[in-house]
Amino acid sequence: MLGLGVDRLQADINRLLTSLFHQGVLDEQFLQLQQLQDETSPTFVYDVINIYFDESEKLLRSLRLLLMDREFSDYKKIGLHLNQLVGSSSSIGARRVRNVCVAFRSASELNNRPGCLRGLEVVEHEYHYLKNMMHELFQLEQQRLLAAGVRYPM
Amino acid sequence: MFNPFTTHHSSDMNWALNNPNPEGKEPRTTTQSSDFYHLSAKDSPQKSRKIDFWRSGLMGFAKMQHSVAVKMNNGNNNDQVGNKKGSTFIQEHRALLPKGLILWTIIVGFISRGIYQWMDDTSKVRREEVLVSMCDQRARMLQDQFSVSVNHVHALAILVSTFHYHKNPSAIDQGTFADYTARTAFERPLLSGVAYAEKVVNAEREMFESQHNWVIKTMDTGEPSPVRDEYAPVIFSQDSVSYLESLDMMSGEEDRENILRARETGKAVLTSPFRLLASHHLGVVLTFPVYKASLPRNPTVQERIAATAGYLGGAFDVESLVENLLGQLAGNQAIVVHVYDITNASDPLVMYGNQDEEGDTSLYHESKLDFGDPFRKHKMICRYLQKAPIPLNVLTTVPLFFAIGFLVGYILYGAAVHIVKVEDDFHEMQELKVRAEAADVAKSQFLATVSHEIRTPMNGILGMLAMLLDTELSSTQRDYAQTAQVCGKALIALINEVLDRAKIEAGKLELESVPFDIRSILDDVLSLFSEESRNKGIELAVFVSDKVPEIVKGDSGRFRQIIINLVGNSVKFTEKGHIFVKVHLAEQSKDGAESKPALNGGVASEDITAASKPSSYNTLSGYEAADGRNSWDSFKHLVSSEELLTSSEFDASSNVRLMVSIEDTGIGIPLTAQGRVFMPFMQADSSTSRTYGGTGIGLSISKCLVELMRGQISFVSRPRVGSTFWFTAVFERCDKFSLKKPTVENLPSSFRGMRAIVVDAKPVRAAVTRYHMKRLGISVDVMTSLRTAVSTASGRNGSPLPSGTTKLDMILVEKDSWISTEDIDAEIRQMNSRTNGNVHRKTPKLALFATNITNSEFDRAKSAGFADTVIMKPLRASMIGACLQQVLELRKARQQHPEGSSPATLKSLLTGKKILVVDDNMVNRRVAAGALKKFGAEVVCAESGQVALGLLQIPHSFDACFMDIQMPQMDGFEATRQIRMMEKEAKEKTKLEWHLPILAMTADVIHATYEECLKSGMDGYVSKPFEEENLYKSVAKSFKANPISDSSCSQS
């Protein structure tokens, strides 16, 4: 039934987005981001989000390494990493990641190691949740594009 | 120090990290709040009230709640420390105050006692002195009197010796003696009587008895005297003592001793006191010797005894003597006088004085008395009759002193207590003040945070609603969604207002300065309200004086906000009549229109108009207006002065002060409410908000905004007549061409040079119409009557137009004028047909202005020949233009901007610009680049400040740079400073000025304040994530502020 599900797929996408908004996973910045996408850069959102995931993955790995170290004390570096994460998260509108990152950051500012560890877990949890959702979204998007691309000769 | 912040955050963290399911908003709020309550209850001394306040207000906003509350707690703690430091000496020793008072009272008591003692002593001394002097005086006088009497007795003795013994025969007999003594008794007042006794020796007794014819008798019995050696029988006696005759004076023991002593000493001798026979007074007997022959110069005792012839005696009535004496002296009642014979010192004999009469025994004085008898000693003792009374001055002075002392003490005590109380109050007030300030800060924070917190989900809601509306919806669903969207927008608007208010209060609102066209803004505002005013049948008109510059520089958004607010209010409260917005220079109103002083408050003006109430007013709609300034009388000054002074002359000053007045004929503002119109959340009365809705915050914001624009806002209002609000605002003059094209509303230019007749009986309205026509380039003649206009147009009477030309392109008729002119339709038709027939003359097109028009009227208009068009009010130049275009079938090539709105303008700003984006965050970089690219800019990215510096080596081809502030190694500020340094060096070397607009990008507006950006040489900032409007504003500002970049962009 190629091509016939465009509307349904669009509705699915909207529903998914709505639920993400409801949960506070995303905020209006994501909409702004979507608006930036046009014919000249059809995969803009996808690109940005991918970069975001790449960067964040690196940062999270680095954070985990830092925190796992027993004689660890470089809270400043954690703060820098988290700043990056907060910045990019707010840029793409990943609101919940951003919020938990802020909490994590305040724990790191207080050199609260257990807090940091918990923070890291929560951030990772949120991050993976976001990643899954985004994955789903992009898949839907792709399907929609495919469906929209289908032309039946009249 | 214990930092509540720490715990709060960690507790927040703990929560966030423990809770596996962060979606649960509910548990989050409650956990946090309870945590917070617990803490604050421990920390803060004024917990309960605050908690209630927060609980009621802020249940949903736990996140900001604790940060605010914690700050307040901190503040309080510090403050309490400060309070303790500030306490004074008195306060520290407040417990001693009552003791001090008691001590003081005791001291005063002692002092007054001392004073009493002293005064008492002095008075005692004085009393004693008085007593001494009185006593001495009495003693002396007594002595004197006594000696006088004694002298007389002495004289009597000499008399007796002279006339009884030296004469022979004797010249004195009893009769003579008695007679003489009686007659000289006044000289001896004290002597009850005198008697003379002759010395008779026993040998001579017989002869003596026979000679005198009586026997010598003893004194006590009266019997004939027994035989003795010697006798002293009385031979002469005064009548008062005649009973003494023949009594032997020597028979009494005492008398005998007296006589013996007297004759031995030759002086007057006294007996001890005894009761006198006759008067029973105490008295003494005075005995004086009489010698026979003159004695030798110093006679011996024997010689004296031998020479003794007799004895003269008298009884001294001491009692009456002293009584007399005392009677003569003042103050005798006050003292008690006793006279004693103290010859026998161990047994003083009382001579005078009542022994019972003790008097004041504490004080007495003794005076010696010398009655000339060396053998006898006397003394006088004086006492006060009464005990010394406590003197009046002591009685008054001492209690008075005590009272005053006590009062002084009490006053001091009271003052101290008062000081303590006042200081306590002061500290309490200080604490309250701190609390109030904290509450104020909290309020502002609350407002800001809440507004922000509401806005964020609201954006979500609105976004979702927009998305929802894009989906397929049934019409009902769509209606619901649209309603929800409208409501959401209204809510956002309200929140923005509240935020505005809070911002203004916090002094954080800054006006921007961009060039804008006042006229088009006013037209916009009018178009916003045109629908509503048309529905209500209100005339809505705007007039801008020609002297007002076309383009001014200022905050157009805020200006618009004020006007929208005021006009909105007017529309809301006006049911009939008109709303008239007028803009002119403030100076103009001074010299021209202000012929009548501005009347504030309705009372005075009511009096004036009540006196001569015309049936119709020369205002826009003919309804009465609150302020006479907009009526034709003053309005024509404005219009005529414009005609005289064309806009050629330009003021030298760069600022222009505009005066905007908004007049309506609505319900007005009750006099009682006029005072608080500009107070936030105050509407004229509470019923107003029920009837008309609204929060009442608008006017207060307008006031603040006007004040920010260095102007004033005020109003004149009369209930049931209307209100006129006016405000002034200062704008910068601005070059006409400095305004970027897109924002200018393009008025069609195809009408230039056309002529028209406006038919309107109301001059104000005609002036407004003329103003709009003028903007289109149409010159206008105003005629008050349609008939003359028609006849002029048809050229029937051949009279040329007042302006001299005969060319006429259109006749614009106000509906009122048309309706009121009877039977004109035919003429109009005729005119139409005639001119249609005339090939050489162009038909003047007819158009009708109307605020509202009924169907029947519309049909009539059609039939009358106004088929061309009916132009609905409110008038706007662009709308008139459009309608007239229709009428005149002019085709205008619309030039540009089909999309019109801000992306296009942003696009126009950014198209072709080469922009450098510096951000260490790849995602951010990408997003920023995407956004800028969307607006047509060419974007180059740099991931650090160093890379950016490398790219920006002069010469470079970038038009602008967006710089992230927070970057590792080199932050945005530092990078900017270095860039500016490079530019400076380049200028020195090449004499070419370089200035690259650098805009900061920051996620946190509070963190990096605008000042900080400017300080490091940036031109502005854009908050991340990008928002179009925000971006546009910053970009427009910095590009415009910088002509070099303009020129460079035109080159590129």
Each residue of B839-871: pLDDT tens digit?
Answer: 444 566 777 777 777 777 777 776 766 655 677
Which is nearest to B533 in space by CA: B487, B579, B483, B588?
B579
Distance from CA of B447 to the nearest CA of A (A): 21
**CB within 8 Å: A93 and B922:** no
- List the single residue in B16, B18, B1025 with the smallest CB-CB distance to A32: B1025
Q: Which residues of B13-35 are buried (b: 16+ CB within 10 A; e: fewer)?
A: bbbbbeeeebeeeeebbebbbeb
Token reading at A59: 């940062």
**CB within 8 Å: B22 and A93:** no
Of all residues in chain A, the one with the smallest CA distance to B459 is: A28
In this structure, the number of other CB atoms found within 10 A of the CB of residue B244 comes to: 23
Quote the CA–CA distance of B292 and B170 in Å, as a whole number.
13
**CB within 8 Å: B463 and A31:** yes
Bridge partners of residue A13, in order along the sequence: none
pLDDT beyond 60 at B742: no
**CB within 8 Å: B9 and A36:** no
Bridge partners of residue B231, in order along the sequence: B200
Measured at the CA of B116, the angle between CA B110 and CA B119, to 5 degrees, comes to 140
Q: What is the pLDDT along chain A (154 residues), one digit of tens a residue?
A: 455 677 788 888 888 888 888 888 888 888 878 877 877 777 888 888 888 898 889 888 888 888 887 676 677 888 888 888 888 888 888 888 888 888 888 888 888 888 888 888 889 988 999 999 888 888 888 888 777 766 555 4
Summarize pLDDT for B178-206 with one digit per residue, the tens. Answer: 888 888 888 887 777 888 888 888 888 88
Quote the CA–CA distance of B110 and B103 in Å, as a whole number.
11
Q: What residues of B are in the A interface, CB distance below 8 Å?
A: 6, 9-10, 12-14, 16-18, 22-23, 456, 459-460, 463-464, 467, 471-472, 920-924, 926-927, 930-931, 933-934, 966, 968, 1003, 1024-1027
Q: Does A28 touch chain B (CB under 8 A)?
A: yes
Which comes out higher in pLDDT, residue B715 or B753?
A: B715
pLDDT at res. B928: 80
pLDDT at res. B124: 85
- Mean pLDDT for B545-572 is 84
Measured over the CA atoms of residue B80, residue B83, residue B85 and residue B87, the dihedral's sign is negative
pLDDT at res. B407: 92
> What one-character DSSP code corresponds to residue B271?
P
pLDDT beyond 90 at B432: yes
Which comes out higher in pLDDT, residue A51 or B889?
A: A51
Token reading at B683: 């509407």
Q: How confident is the model at residue B82 (pLDDT cuts 50, 70, 90)?
A: very low
Of all residues in chain B, the one with the smallest CA distance to A96 is: B22
Q: How confident is the model at residue B613 (pLDDT cuts 50, 70, 90)?
A: very low
* Side-chain-facing half-sphere of B839: CA atoms under 13 Å: 0
Summarize pLDDT for B668-711 with one digit per residue, the tens. Answer: 888 877 777 777 665 555 555 555 555 567 788 888 888 888 88
Which comes out higher in pLDDT, residue B434 or B955?
A: B434
Summarize pLDDT for B33-49 with one digit per residue, the tens. Answer: 444 444 444 444 444 44
Q: How confident is the model at residue B431 (pLDDT cuts 50, 70, 90)?
A: very high
Of all residues in chain B, the one with the smallest CA distance to A126 is: B22
Domains contained in chain A, CATH given: 2-147 (1.20.120.160)
- Mean pLDDT for B7-14 is 42
**CB within 8 Å: A28 and B459:** yes
Name every chain A residue with its beta carbon within 8 A of the beta carbon of B471: 11, 14
Residues 6+ apart with CB under 8 A from B650: B733
**CB within 8 Å: A48 and B1026:** no
Is B294 in contact with B262 (CB distance < 8 Å)?
no
The secondary element (H helix, E strand) that includes residue B660 is strand B655-664
Q: Does A47 touch chain B (CB under 8 A)?
A: yes
**CB within 8 Å: B10 and A110:** yes
pLDDT at res. B327: 77
Name every chain A residue with its beta carbon within 8 A of the beta carbon of B927: 33, 36, 48, 91-92
Which is nearest to B262 in space by CA: B322, B215, B307, B206?
B307
Of all residues in chain A, the one with the smallest CA distance to B1024 is: A91
**CB within 8 Å: A87 and B1024:** yes
Distance from CA of A149 to the nearest CA of B (A): 20
Q: In what order do the strands lie in the sheet with B998-1002?
A: B938-942, B914-918, B960-964, B998-1002, B1020-1023
Q: Does A44 touch chain B (CB under 8 A)?
A: yes
Name every chain B residue with its beta carbon within 8 A of the beta carbon of A84: 920-921
Q: How confident is the model at residue B102 (pLDDT cuts 50, 70, 90)?
A: very high
- List the single residue in A21, A91, A106 with the smallest CB-CB distance to B924: A91
**CB within 8 Å: B13 and A103:** yes
**CB within 8 Å: B1025 and A93:** yes
Which comes out higher in pLDDT, residue B732 or B588?
A: B732
Measured at the CA of B903, the angle between CA B902 and CA B909, to 5 degrees, comes to 90
Q: Is B195 exposed, middle or buried (0-12, 13-18, 19+ CB in 10 A)?
A: buried
Distance from CA of B481 to the nearest CA of A (A): 15
Token reading at B401: 């002193």
Name every chain B residue with its beta carbon within 8 A of the beta carbon of A92: 923, 927
Summarize pLDDT for B282-308 with one digit per residue, the tens. Answer: 778 888 888 876 677 777 888 888 888
Of all residues in chain B, the one with the smallest CA distance to A83 is: B966
Quote the CA–CA distance of B959 and B511 in Å, as a whole number.
26
Bridge partners of residue B236, in order along the sequence: B196
Per mean pLDDT, which range of B370-374, B656-660, B682-686 is the poorest? B682-686
- Mean pLDDT for B447-460 is 74
Strands B713-718 and B722-733: antiparallel
Tell me the pLDDT of chain B averaged across its residues. Answer: 72
Per mean pLDDT, which range of A65-69, B363-367, B741-745, B1013-1017 is the poorest? B741-745
pLDDT beyond 70 at B367: yes
Name every chain B residue with its beta carbon within 8 A of the beta carbon of A32: 931, 1025-1027
Distance from CA of B843 to the nearest CA of A (A): 52
- List the single residue in A90, A115, A121 with the smallest CB-CB distance to B1025: A90
In this structure, the number of other CB atoms found within 10 A of the CB of residue B45 comes to: 9
**CB within 8 Å: B17 and A122:** yes
Contacts A–B by Cβ distance under 8 A: 113
- Which candidate in A12, A27, A28 is best for mutational testing of the B interface (most B CBs within 10 A)? A28
Bridge partners of residue B779, in order along the sequence: B755
Q: Does A93 touch chain B (CB under 8 A)?
A: yes
- List the single residue in B10, B930, B1003 with the smallest CB-CB distance to A44: B930
Q: Does A92 touch chain B (CB under 8 A)?
A: yes
Name every chain B residue with its beta carbon within 8 A of the beta carbon of A38: 934
pLDDT beyond 60 at B19: no
Q: Which residues of B162-186 are buried (b: 16+ CB within 10 A; e: fewer)?
A: eebbeeeeeebebeebbebbeeebe
Distance from CA of A62 to the nearest CA of B (A): 16
Most confident of B68-82, B256-270, B637-651: B256-270
pLDDT at res. B1050: 35
Name every chain B residue with its beta carbon within 8 A of the beta carbon of A83: 966
Q: Does A39 touch chain B (CB under 8 A)?
A: no
> What one-character DSSP code corresponds to residue B187?
G
- Which candidate in A19, A48, A58, A112 is best for mutational testing of the B interface (most B CBs within 10 A)? A48
Q: Is B804 exposed, middle or buried (0-12, 13-18, 19+ CB in 10 A)?
A: exposed
Q: How confident is the model at residue B723 (pLDDT cuts 50, 70, 90)?
A: confident
Which comes out higher in pLDDT, residue B68 or B149?
A: B149
pLDDT at res. B979: 85
Which comes out higher in pLDDT, residue A69 or B279?
A: A69
Token reading at A45: 């959102």
**CB within 8 Å: A51 and B1003:** no
Summarize pLDDT for B973-1004 with one digit per residue, the tens. Answer: 888 888 888 888 888 877 777 788 888 877 65
- Which candidate in B64, B471, B921, B1029 is best for mutational testing of the A interface (most A CBs within 10 A)? B921
Domains contained in chain B, CATH given: 135-383 (3.30.450.350), 432-509 (1.10.287.130), 514-588+617-636+653-684+694-733 (3.30.565.10), 749-795+805-888 (3.40.50.2300), 903-1039 (3.40.50.2300)
Which comes out higher in pLDDT, residue B664 or B324?
A: B664
**CB within 8 Å: A122 and B921:** no
Q: What is the DSSP string of B726-748?
A: EEEEEEEE--GGGS-GGGSPPPP
pTM: 0.41
pLDDT beyond 60 at B414: yes
pLDDT beyond 90 at B106: yes
Of all residues in chain A, the one with the smallest CA distance to B926 is: A48
Q: How confident is the model at residue B532 (pLDDT cuts 50, 70, 90)?
A: confident
Name every chain A residue with its beta carbon within 8 A of the beta carbon of B17: 103, 115, 118-119, 121-122
pLDDT beyond 50 at B350: yes
- Which candidate in B927, B944, B965 is best for mutational testing of the A interface (most A CBs within 10 A)? B927
